[in-house]
Amino acid sequence: MEDCLFCKIIADEVPSTKVYEDESVYVFEDINPIAPIHYLLIPKQHICCAAKITSENSAVVGHIYEVAAKLAAEMGITDGYRIVTNCGENAGQSVFHLHFHMLAGVKMGWGKEAVQATE
């Protein structure tokens, strides 16, 4: 999709700090991290949001979770990580290309203060 920011990142038209890439998934650092580790895991195929996952494109979602587990193991993340996706504007989705936030490196809560600094 020509005006999609994430499609432009995949096409190397917009710079990013790449963490991982394979034939169907691209992972890069979030430019506004809310945790010490904050990656975005995106399918290379343009899918606008979780509501558009179908039997024809759902395999990439499973693969994204495989990539997350691989990255966590390679980085030694043994105390947990969070995977989040937003679907739609009211849920906080700002880029309409399916993406998953991988957050780690801090103790996380739930609710208004979902990510809290550890002491």
Active site residues per annotation: 99
Q: Which long-range contacts (CB under 8 A, 24 or more apart) does 70-78 make?
A: 70/20, 71/19, 71/20, 71/27, 71/39, 71/102, 72/102, 72/104, 75/37, 75/104, 77/37, 77/104, 77/105
Within the chain, what is the greatest distance between any pair of CA atoms? 45
